[in-house]
Structure 1
Amino acid sequence: MSRKDAGDFPPEPPFDCPRCPRLVEYRKENARKEPHWHNAPVHSFGDTGARLLIVGLAPGRTGANRTARPFTGDWAGDLLYPTLQKFGFARGTFDKDGDDDLQLVEAMITNAVRCVPPENKPTGEECNRCRPFLTARIEDLPQLEIILALGGIAHTNTLRALGVKASARKFEHNAWHDLEGPDGRAFRLVNSYHCSRYNTNTGRLTTEMFEEVFAGVRGALSG
């Protein structure tokens, strides 16, 4: 992957990013209602020496859009961050509002779409417009070995960010895919159902299933 492939985009969008008109208007609407919230693109969080990159879908309105940290402030983070701690990818205390000293270790978290979308559903065009930031984010992690995609949309956007046809690798929970980026770097893409409240409440994803994915990732990085 080269900076040219990323369209000369930085790894993180500016806080006044204008690329998606619908999302810009939604940011402004949220800012009018909740002026003390973040209400801006949510930047990646973690270790710049990451060997693991976790890719989610987009910030939640009352989660990362409020706290400015991915997966912080909603149920998904209440499952994700303790799991990261359990498998040695995080240290410190975790507070659901981000008032903590939490640090990630050899890991980083980002989203396919950096602004909160209405009803948690970005459009295909919004994914396309935001994808260069994901490509640049991957590029700027020189020690990256494994990308964990949480959910089908994150999976598809990661494949496209790597220049791989979305139809080439099927999304399945705990599926592993060997990939090669445009610059020849090898990656392993791992899938998990998204750790959303809906998925956990319905039993689609259990804590045991989620931890099994992370156990595999830890084992692969330790091997």
Structure 2
Amino acid sequence: MTDRQTLDMWFDPLCPWAWVTSRWLLQVEQVRPVRVRFNVMSLAVLNDGNDSVPQEYADRPDAYFALRREAWGPVRICVAAARAAGPEVLRELYTALGTRIHPAGQQLGDELYRAALADVGLDPNLALAAGSEEYDDELLASHYAGLKPVGFDVGTPIIHAPGPDGTTVAFFGPVVTPAPEGEAAGRLWDGVLLVAGTPGFFELKRSRDTPPILS
């Protein structure tokens, strides 16, 4: 598989569903001629001005809004890292952050950020970006680049992929758990691309009856 096509995924490190999707896409790379390029979007930006509280936080809304404030930190660090080392660093940094945040369940904060940065050979002081607005213009540009061809009533993950006629197929999702592996991952990719690339196709959905499996 030498002639690989590049597909782009937009993620927020805090989103557990995006984490599962990203692990699936890395499996797809093993069985289909694609290469995933990771890009940053922001749940903090997406939910700005929205005062509704998800059902799982109905009995602790303060915790939800605190998490939303903290959500600025990881995405700013990702943007700072991409500025310092190039956007390809996001592949490894997302894994370093996401492994700690999701399977390991570590608390967000400076210790987690510095350890993840050190894992990928970056200056741990880039963790200071978490509290800085210096990177917000770049963050917004990346965020809206992901959303523009999909629409603004979706979340993360977002995927842009080359279509069969040379156009870009862009969509939210898939929301799936656990992450399919091996040829099962490839078959899901084939189906998702077929459905999303069908002119006039907009939505296929059912209620979630299980939480994301993060390991």
| TM-score of the superposed pair, with normalisation by structure 1 | 0.26
Greater helix fraction, Structure 1 or Structure 2: 2
Choose 1 or 2 for highest CA Rg: 2
Greater relative contact order, per chain length (Cα 8 Å cut-off, separation 6+): 2
Under a length normalisation based on structure 2, what TM-score does the superposition of the two structures give?
0.27
